[in-house]
Structure 1
Amino acid sequence: MIALIAIVVGSMLGGGVYSLPQNTAASSAVGPVTVAWIIAGVGVYFIANCFRLLSDARPDLQAGVYMYAQEGFGRFIGFNVAWGYWLMTCFGNVAFAVILMDAFNEFFPGVFTDGNNLNSIICGSILIWGYNYLVLSGTKVAGFVNTVGTFAKLVPLILFVLILGVMIDYSQLLTNVWGTDPQIVTEVNKETVSVSLMSQILAPMTVTLWAFIGVEGAVVLSGRARNTNDVGKATLLGFVLALFIYMLLSVLPFGAMTQNELSQVANPSTAGVLQHVVHGAWGNWLMSVGLIISVLAGWLAWTMLCAEIPMAAGENGAFPKAFARTNKNDAASVSLWVSSTVMQVAMLLVYFSNNAWNTMYNISALMVVPAYITTTLFIAKSCMNGSYRGASRGMALWSGILGSLFCLFIIYASEMQYVVLVPILMTLGLPVYIWSRTEKKDGQPIFTKVELLYLLILLIVDAAVVMALVAGKISI
C-alpha cells in the first residue's frame, strides 16, 4: 500500500513541482491561479475516481490505462492510447533530464546552461541508461528505492511551505487578487495587451494537468500489487496529498512577491522564491538540492511506468510480442531497452530547442489526454449499457462524464502548437500497430471497418495540421 502511494505521489511530484510558483504566475494573479487549481483538482478528481472505481470493478484489466481503451473501443484505439501514453512517459523523463541539469547549473554555473547544452545532453544520457540498468534489476528493488526517494523529496517541499507560511506577508495575498489593479499585461506581436480574467484562469491549465500526470501510476502497476484492493485507495490518497501540496506551493509565494516579480523568477522558481524570503543563498541551495532528489526519484518512477506499458501491451497483443519479454528479475527488458532508446533520441533533439523544459512538459501533458478521456468514456459507456458491475454506479457515471468533459476543456485551454503535435505523434505508431496485427495471424483484417474510419479521421487531421504548418497559420 505504501509503495503504491509512493508510486502515485512520486510520479506526480516530479521536478515540475519546483517550478510551480513561476509557471502558474507567469500571466495570472493569485485569484485566477487558485481558481485554476480548483478546476483542475475537481476535474482530475473525477479522472482519479474513474481509475479507482475501475480498479475495483475490473481487476482483470491489469495495466488499466491501456486495457480500458481496448475493452471499450477496440484494438486500434487501445493501441493508440498505449502508444501515446508510452511516448508521454518517455518525453516526461526527458523533461526531468532538462530540469535536473538546470538545477545542477546552480552548483556549477555555466556548465549546464538552460539544461540543454552539450554537457547537459551527455549527463542526461548517462542517467537515462543508469536508470535503465536499475529498473532491469526488478520492480521490487526499484520500488523500494522510489519509496525512499519519495519521502526524501517531500522534506524540502514541506520546509518551503512551513517557512513561507511563517514569514510571508498575508496582506499581500489580498493585493490585486484578480490581476486587474494594476492590470496584468502580456506582449502579442510586439504590442502590449491586457490579460483577461478568463485568460488568466486558462493560462495555468496545462501546467496543472502536467502536475497531476501520474495519478494513474498505481493502476499502471496494478499487476504488480500484492493486494489489488489497495490500488484504488492509493490512487485517491496520492491525489489528495499532491493537490494540497500544489495549491500551497502556488499560492503562498504571492505573499512574498508580486505577480510580476514571480513571473520573472528563474526556474526552478521555488529556489528563487525561498532565497528572496530568507534573504540568503541557502534558500536557493536547499530547493535546488530538493529538486535534484525529487527528479532523481520521479525519474525512477516514470522509468518503471514507461517500461510497464509496452510490456503489458505486448502481453495482450496490442504491441508486438517482443515487447512482452522479461529478464530473470521479471523486469520488462525489451520494453525498457526500446524506451531508453526513444528517450535518448529525444534527449539529442532537446539540444536544438530554445525552451526545452516548456516544450517537453507541454507535449507530455497533452499526450496523456487520450488515455484519460478513453478511461472516463469507458466507465460512462459501461454504466449506460449496463455492463458496469462495480459499486456506486451513479458516481461512476458522473465521474466518467465530468472527467471526459474536463479532458476536452484541457485541450481547449492548451496552446495550439502543442495540440497539433498529438495526432502527428499518434500516426508515427502505425507501423508498430500493423506489425502487431500481422504477427497475430488470427484470420481477422488488420483494420476493421470502424477502425478504418478512425484511421481516416486521424490521417485527415494530420493533413490539416501539415497544411496549417506550411501556410504559416501554426508554428511549432
Structure 2
Amino acid sequence: MEEETGGRPQGTLATQQPAREGTPPAHAGGGARLGLPQATALVVGNIVGTGIFLLPASLAAFGTVSILAFGIVTLGALALAVVFGRLGRRIPASGGPYAYAREGFGEFPGFLNAWSFWITAWAGNAGIAFAWVGYVVYFADAAFGLDWSSVPAQVVIGLTGLWIPALINLAGVTKMGLFQLVTTILKFAPLIFVAIIGLFFVQADNFGPFNATDGSWIGALSVAAALVLFAYSGVESASIAAEKVSDPERNIGRASVYGTLACAVLYMLGTIAVFGTVPHDKLVDSTAPFADAINAMFGGSAWGVVMAAFAIISGIGALNGWTLLVAEMPMAAARDGLFPKMFTRMRGGNVPWAGIVIGTALTSITFVLAFAAENAFNTILLLAAFTTVVPYLFSAAAQLFWLATGERQTARKGLAWNMTLAVVALLFSFWMIFGAGSDAVFQGTLMLLAGIPVYIWVKASRGEYGPKEIKHITTGELR
C-alpha cells in the first residue's frame, strides 16, 4: 500500500488529552498485544460468524442475482477495509471509527459514533447467539438424540454461549487472542473445503433463475444486498482494538485488508459452490445449506452433524471477538470523557472488565427478550446493520475530509486513488443504510437519539457546558 502521510502521527487521540484521574492513557497498561496473525484472526472471526452457514439459503430466494450483490458488497467492504487501514495510520488509537469521527468532526459526532457502535456490538451479539443456539439444538438432536428445542432450554444455551466468551475475555488479551486464532482456523477448515472442493461438483442446472422473484432484477439485487451487508460487519475490528494491537500503524491496515480479503474469497466461492451443488428448489428451504452441499457431493446425512459442530465453533469465535469490541469502544470514549467513567475500569492492566460485563449483560437481556418477538432474528440483524453503518459513514467522511483539506499532511502521491476509495466507501455506506430498510433506520435513529441524555449527563457531571475544544493530534492546536 502506498503511504499517504508525511510521517506517523505524533501520539494518539487519547494521549493528547489530559490524563483523567484513575484512567490510563491509550496504549497504556502494558501486557501482551495482538500480533498481525491474531489481529487478522480478530477481523476474520468477527466477520465470519454463524450467518455464513445460513446465508446461501437466504440468498437463493432471490436467484443468482444475489451472487452479483455479493460481488458489489464485497468491493464496498474492501474499500472500507483499506480506508480503515489508512485511518489507522493517521490515528492509531483505540476506538477506531469513534476516534476518527471525534478528531475529524468534534466531540458530539464522536459520541454518536461510539454510542452507535456500542449498540451494534451488544445487539449484534444477541443476533449471533440466536443463530448459534439453533445449531446447538440441531447438533444435540442429531448427534445424541437430545431435545433442547424448548424455549427455557434455548435461553440457557444462549446465555451460556454469551458468558463463556465474556469469561475468556476477562482472563486476558493473550487467552482471548489465542482462542480467536484457534476458532478462526477451525471455522475456516470446513468452509474452505466446501468452497474449493465443491466447485468440482457444480452443475449449471442447480443454479436456478437469475431473478427468482416476481419483481425486477434491480429490486432483487437491492434486497439480496441488504442480506449480505451485515455479513461484512467487523472490517473495523482491528482499528477499534488498536490499543491491543502491536505496531498498530502498520498492523491495523494489514489485518483489516487481509482479513476482509480472506472472508471475501470464502464468501464468494462458498456461495457459488453451494448454489451449484444443491438444487435451487431445495436450497431455498434449506436450514443447513453447507451440510446439504456436502451431502450432495458425497451422499449420506452424517455431514450435517459435522457442519453443525463447525457452525457452533464459528459462532462462539465470533462472540469471543465481538465481546472484546463491546468493551473497547466505550472504554476509548470514556477515557475522553464522553462515556461514563465506569467503562475505564481495568483488570490486570489491559482488560476492560466493566465494559465486558455491562455489554454482555445487555446482550443477555436482548437475547431473552427476542424470544417474545416475531422475526426477532431479522429485526436484530437489520437494526445492527444500520447502527454499524453510522460509524462506517463517518469514518469514510473523515478520511475524505482530511484528504480534501490536506490537514493530515497528505502526500500528493496516490491522492486520487485514496480519494476514490474514500468516496466509494462513503457511497457504499449510504447504500448500506438504504438496504437496512425503513423500519431498521427508524428504530436505529430512535436508539441513537436515546444516547443524547447520556451525553448531557456525562457533560454535566464534568461541569462542562457547550462544545469542548479538542487538541489537534499533530499540531497541538486547540479547535
Q: Quick check: TM above 0.5? A: yes
What 5-or-longer segments of structure 2 have no aligned partner? 1-35, 470-479
Deviations 1:274-316 (A, max 9, x none): 3344331122112111100101111101101111111111111
1:211 Cα deviation (Å)? Answer: 1.1
The aligned counterpart of 1:251 is: 272
Partners of 1:168 and 1:277 within 8 A in 2: no
**Structure 1 residue 2 corresponds to structure 2 residue 37:** yes
CA distance in 1, matches of 2:466, 2:440: 33
Question: Residue 33 of structure 1 aligns to which amino acid in structure 2?
Answer: S
Question: Which one of 155, 158, 174 corresponds to residue 124 of structure 1?
Answer: 158
Matches within 5 A, 1:45-64: 45-59=78-92, 61-64=93-96
The aligned counterpart of 2:117 is: 85
1:112 Cα deviation (Å)? Answer: 4.1
Partners of 2:51 and 2:231 within 8 A in 1: yes
Matches within 5 A, 1:147-186: 147-169=181-203, 171-172=204-205, 176=209, 178-179=210-211, 184-185=212-213
The aligned counterpart of 2:3 is: none
CA distance in 1, matches of 2:391, 2:184: 25
1:174 Cα deviation (Å)? Answer: 6.6
1:400 Cα deviation (Å)? Answer: 1.7
CA distance in 2, matches of 1:174, 1:334: 49
TM-score by length of 2: 0.85
Partners of 1:172 and 1:256 within 8 A in 2: no
CA 1:356–1:270 in 2, change beyond 3 Å: closer, same or farther?
Answer: farther
The aligned counterpart of 1:472 is: none
CA 1:405–1:293 in 2, change beyond 3 Å: closer, same or farther?
Answer: same
Partners of 2:195 and 2:271 within 8 A in 1: no
CA distance in 2, matches of 1:329, 1:58: 22
The root-mean-square deviation of aligned C-alpha atoms, in Å, is 2.0
The aligned counterpart of 2:17 is: none
CA distance in 1, matches of 2:162, 2:68: 37
The aligned counterpart of 1:325 is: 345
Deviations 1:327-361 (A, max 9, x none): 12521011112111211110111111233332222
Question: Residue 354 of structure 1 aligns to which amino acid in structure 2?
Answer: E
Matches within 5 A, 1:210-225: 210-225=230-245
1:126 Cα deviation (Å)? Answer: 2.4
CA distance in 2, matches of 1:256, 1:174: 8
Question: Which one of 245, 248, 251 corresponds to residue 230 of structure 1?
Answer: 251
Residue 204 of structure 1 aligns to a residue whose secondary structure is helix
1:447 Cα deviation (Å)? Answer: 9.2
**Structure 1 residue 429 corresponds to structure 2 residue 461:** no
CA distance in 1, matches of 2:240, 2:432: 22
CA distance in 2, matches of 1:315, 1:240: 33
CA 1:112–1:163 in 2, change beyond 3 Å: closer, same or farther?
Answer: farther
Question: Which one of 43, 51, 68 corresponds to residue 35 of structure 1?
Answer: 68
Partners of 2:165 and 2:320 within 8 A in 1: yes
Deviations 1:173-225 (A, max 9, x none): 6763x23xxxx24xxxxxxxx12110121122122221111111111111111
CA distance in 2, matches of 1:172, 1:103: 29
Partners of 1:15 and 1:96 within 8 A in 2: yes
The aligned counterpart of 2:466 is: 445
CA distance in 2, matches of 1:408, 1:4: 28
CA 1:212–1:401 in 2, change beyond 3 Å: closer, same or farther?
Answer: same
Deviations 1:437-472 (A, max 9, x none): 112224x32799xxxxxxxxxxxxxxxxxxxxxxxx
Question: Which one of 317, 324, 335 corresponds to residue 315 of structure 1?
Answer: 335
CA distance in 2, matches of 1:108, 1:133: 24
Partners of 2:102 and 2:110 within 8 A in 1: yes
Partners of 2:327 and 2:343 within 8 A in 1: no
Number of residue-to-residue matches in the alignment: 427
CA distance in 2, matches of 1:262, 1:126: 31
The aligned counterpart of 1:366 is: 386
CA distance in 1, matches of 2:236, 2:160: 28
Question: Which one of 382, 386, 390 corresponds to residue 402 of structure 2?
Answer: 382
CA distance in 2, matches of 1:359, 1:174: 29
Deviations 1:406-442 (A, max 9, x none): 1111222333222211101112222321222112224
CA 1:393–1:428 in 2, change beyond 3 Å: closer, same or farther?
Answer: same
Partners of 1:265 and 1:273 within 8 A in 2: no
The aligned counterpart of 1:100 is: 132
CA distance in 2, matches of 1:44, 1:152: 24
CA distance in 2, matches of 1:174, 1:209: 22
**Structure 1 residue 72 corresponds to structure 2 residue 104:** yes
Partners of 1:20 and 1:270 within 8 A in 2: no
The aligned counterpart of 2:219 is: 199
CA distance in 2, matches of 1:352, 1:375: 36
Residue 203 of structure 1 aligns to a residue whose secondary structure is helix
CA distance in 1, matches of 2:53, 2:174: 28
Runs of 4 or more, structure 1, over 6 Å off, are: none
What 5-or-longer segments of structure 1 have no aligned partner? 186-193, 449-476
CA distance in 1, matches of 2:229, 2:152: 30
- Of all paired residues, the percent bearing the same amino acid is 24
1:140 Cα deviation (Å)? Answer: 1.6
Which moves more between the two structures, 352-361 or 79-88? 352-361
CA distance in 1, matches of 2:97, 2:134: 32
Matches within 5 A, 1:399-410: 399-410=421-432
Which moves more between the two structures, 346-355 or 211-220? 346-355
CA distance in 2, matches of 1:388, 1:199: 40
CA 1:195–1:117 in 2, change beyond 3 Å: closer, same or farther?
Answer: farther
Partners of 2:196 and 2:269 within 8 A in 1: no
Residue 354 of structure 1 aligns to a residue whose secondary structure is coil
